[in-house]
Chain A
Amino acid sequence: MKKILVVDDEENIRKLYKEELEEMGYEVTAASDGALALAAMDAAKFDLVTLDMRMKGMDGIETLRRLKEKDSAVPVVISTAYEEYKHDFGSWASDAYIVKSADTAALRDAVKKILG
């Protein structure tokens, strides 16, 4: 079973993503900020990470950089309320960029496309 790490500082989003992705058959771990996400990466190996951009403490761009230092091969899907991070070169290291929506179809499509 493939493992996904969901990083988001909104509890309800973490809960929604976890339920939606588990329903698709993945094992999901959630982290509420960048530091916790990096710690989770140390504890286990993940097949995919969904990453929020604006978070308290370490932001998404910084988390993405450090995360890739630990495991440059892990695919990252940026999931954010902002459209403009798309143009931030720091986000180019990600494998997909979706704008958060009540309709999680975009997220599910991006994950399915990466993990098959």
Chain B
Amino acid sequence: METTDKAELAILSEISRISNSYIELPQKLQRIIEVIARGMEKDGASVFLVDRTGKAVTLTAAIGLNQETVGKLTFPFGEGIAGWVAEQKVPLALENPFSDPRFQYVPETGIERFKSLTAAPIMDEDRCLGVIFVLSTAPWSATSSDITLLTTTANQISGVIKGAQLFQNIKDRLAELATIYEIGMALTSTLDLEQLLSLIATNTTQALRAQGCALRLMNLSGVRAPATAAPARYVSDAVRDVDARLGEAVAEKTAREGRPVLVEDAGRDPLLVNAPGAPPISIISVPLIFHDAVTGVIALYGRQGDRPFSEDDLQFLATIASTAAVAIENAAMYERMEDLATEARTRAQELAILYDIGSAMSATLNLDRLLRIILTAATMGGTGLGFNRAMLLLTNERTNTLQGMMGVGPASWDEAGRAWGEVSRKHKSLMEWIQTGELFEHRDSELNALARSIRVPLDHGEGVLALTVLEKKAFNILDGASSPVVGKELREALRVNSFATVPLIAKDKAIGVILVDNMFTMRPITDHDVRFLTMFAHQAALAIDNAIIHSNLETMNKDMRIMHEQLVQSEKMAALGAMMAEITHEIRNPLVSIGGFARRLARKVLDEDAKKYIDIILGEVTRLEGIIHDNLSYIKDISTQLQPGDLNAVVREVIALYDDELRQRSIALVKSLSESLSPVLIDLQQIKQAVINIVTNAMEAMENGGILGIRTYPVEGGREAAVEISDTGPGVSAEAMHNLFNPYYTTKARGTGLGLPITHRIVKAHRGTIQFKNKEAGGALFTIRIPYGPGRGA
């Protein structure tokens, strides 16, 4: 008995020593059972511990048994000796366990070597923590002191286990804190949202030994919509399939309730009954909360190892989530700021381009030039919009059609490469390009011809071009072949399948369309491109509208000027009419007397010489009466009495009239009258007047003498007869040239200004022409051409 007590004491003190050592629990238990087996002089011992489920015991340490079963051999409560003792919480000594109905034989454990056993529960208050066995190869009937010793030992072990658990808890807690700290550090290390989400997912997955993570965020625009369908932002590859099946439902519940959700077994959870074939994994899902609003959901799937996620894990994840929510919000805000900054930069750049183009456009009011500027801007990279080709169509209100005006773009890859290469090399502004010449061969280009051939009726509202105008909206045609608004004809004409159209809208009215494509680079036209093009088109439309208005104004202004001139003219004519009436009265009466008495004289005088002079008087009186008549006729119509006449004779008569005056003025006459000039249909009086008017003008132009040239000749081809009269005076000034045939314009101090206008009218009445030019050697030269009858040209 004493030895027994001593042995007991030795055992217990040894166990105390072991329990205070710094080794892990399984090693402690191993050492303890070694001490017990040795102390009780038996060959085997083992410890089963209640596992996490609390409903089974697992072999944790053993001697004399197959070591490979350690950690694997498990008995549920009530099954096998271990299960029975754990459930009943009473010691049990069996001299022959194999015949006991509670015994369960498990092969390859090595239990068959033993003959007898004694077991005791390891109790913590009234809770069973495990079972300790002592095994004997020799038949052994355990005494009460054996059982007491084992129970005492079990109590010792209970203390060891609790200590170890406590220690483990502290260790876990510290590890958790360390993880949280590390994650916190990691989360503040980046402002890149994608990187941050990846960090959160990786860290939580590792810290909680999960198989994978899914992170969902509410929209990032700042609107906190109810969490119905949070977009997935991060799902690790390992759990992609699981998340696809379960993620939505779990996240939706988490976000809606704003509380953590624990799913122990996805295969059996009522939340996921609608998810067919959900795998038996556990899930923890925690809302990301920032300023009382759910900004997202983080979920972990499938804890590694045997047990599911616990409330502790959920708590841990919630702790991380609160840090993560702040970090994500910061990153999201940063991202928004960056987006805004990028957008502002793009906008600024676009505005700069638009400004550049705008100033180029405002530099001209010429429509053709303006259209070229617009299309050059649309097709120019760098400082332009950078499309490959562009066409412009304008609406025609009168015909209600859309009409192609111009197309600009390279005809081939070669030209494209050359032109765009030049643009990027030379760094010229749009303005400079337009001023120094065109980017592409423009005028005769195939594209320009194509553009100008386009006519689209606007009555039916069919096709993308008409719709662009009628609906005043842009079209970005990605696949023309499948688009219901793109006809085959248009696609074949353009030779592209993708293009975009934008309306030209000025003062709420669609005045045309710009069509662009990227035929050569094949770069897809983005919605952003279309938006920018629309802004550009708006500006272009205003410029075009201005140019059209300006052109209309110019035409109107010109018309008004002409009307004004005509008005002035007719006023002058009216004044002339009144004046002419007076002159007629004042001159006709004395002429009647002069001429009447001259005739009477002629009848009475017999002297031949006197008769000749009287005839001259009568001739001149007749001419003066003719002039009066013609002057009146100028106001009314000139009625010509055409009869075959000799132009040379007319010229000779005129020369005879002015023979004396030419001599007095020291003007030499050079005449050359063609012999081959056949008679021409003329009104002799009028043609004579016409020639006289030019001759008198010529004489007056040569104040200090000169040479008067008169020439007649048949015009080549024989259809006209010409009279040419030239002088050596100062010629006619540019200003006077324009007014040469306008009535009342005169450069002479005395003169009615009717001379040349009457001549002009007379020649026109003969369906002839009158030409004037200043001779190179100085002086004026008039040429009158009279056609040979109505058959000229035949």
Contacts and interface: CB of A to CB of B under 8 A. Distances in A.
Nearest to B592: A100
B592 A101 contact: yes
Nearest to A100: B592
Given A81-B584, A83-B632, A101-B595, A13 B600 contact: no
B596 A16 contact: yes
A12 B598 CA distance: 13
Interface stretch (B237-245, B390-398, B552-560, B618-626): B618-626
A103 interface: yes
A95 B618 CA distance: 29
Given A101-B595, A101-B625, A82 B590 contact: no
B501 to A, nearest CB: 68
Interface string B615-653: 000100110010000001000000000000000000000
B598 A81 contact: no
Given A13-B592, A16-B593, A82 B585 contact: yes
A72 to B, nearest CB: 29
B57 to A, nearest CB: 145
Contacts of A100: 588-589, 592
A95 to B, nearest CB: 21
B591 interface: yes
A20 B604 CA distance: 13
Interface in A3-26: 10, 12-13, 15-16, 19-20
A100 to B, nearest CB: 5
A25 to B, nearest CB: 16
B619 to A, nearest CB: 11
B589 A102 contact: no
Nearest to A12: B593
B621 A81 contact: no
User: Main secondary structure on chain A at its contact with chain B?
Assistant: loop
Contacts of B622: 102-103
Contact of A13 (B585, B589, B599, B621): B589
B594 interface: yes
Interface string B571-599: 00000000001001100111111111111
Nearest to A83: B632
Interface residues of A, number: 17
B593 A104 contact: no
Nearest to B593: A12
Given A10-B593, A16-B592, A16-B593, A102 B585 contact: no
Contacts of B599: 102-104
B585 A16 contact: no
Interface in A55-107: 81-83, 99-104
A102 B595 contact: yes
B700 to A, nearest CB: 28
Contacts of A102: 591-596, 598-599, 618, 621-622, 625
A13 B622 CA distance: 17
Contacts of B584: 81-82
Given A81-B588, A82-B581, A102-B625, A19 B600 contact: yes
Nearest to A52: B589
B589 A10 contact: yes
Interface residues of B, number: 21
A37 B589 CA distance: 20
A35 B91 CA distance: 177
A19 B592 CA distance: 14
A39 to B, nearest CB: 23
A81 B589 CA distance: 7
B590 A12 contact: yes
Nearest to A104: B596
A54 B588 CA distance: 12
A54 B593 contact: no
Contact of B597 (A10, A16, A54, A103): A16
B576 to A, nearest CB: 15
Contacts of B581: 82
Contacts of A12: 589-590, 593, 597
Contacts of A101: 592, 595, 625
A20 B597 CA distance: 9
A20 B593 CA distance: 12
Contacts of B585: 54, 81-82
Contacts of B600: 16, 19-20
Nearest to A23: B600
Contacts of B593: 10, 12-13, 15-16, 102
A10 B593 CA distance: 9
Nearest to B589: A10
Count chain A CB atoms within 10 A of each CB in B594, B596, B618, B622 and give the residue with the most. B596
B473 to A, nearest CB: 69
A10 B587 CA distance: 12
A16 B621 CA distance: 16
A87 B517 CA distance: 76
A103 B588 contact: no
A21 to B, nearest CB: 12
Contacts of B589: 10, 12-13, 81, 100
B252 to A, nearest CB: 106
A99 B594 CA distance: 16
9 contacts: A10-B589, A16-B593, A16-B596, A20-B596, A81-B589, A102-B595, A102-B598, A102-B621, A103-B622
8 tightest A-B CB contacts, nearest first = A102-B595, A12-B593, A81-B588, A16-B596, A100-B592, A102-B621, A81-B585, A10-B589
Given A102-B591, A102-B618, A103-B595, 20 more contacts: A10-B589, A12-B597, A13-B589, A13-B593, A16-B597, A16-B600, A19-B600, A81-B585, A81-B592, A99-B588, A101-B592, A101-B625, A102-B592, A102-B593, A102-B594, A102-B595, A102-B596, A102-B599, A103-B596, A103-B599
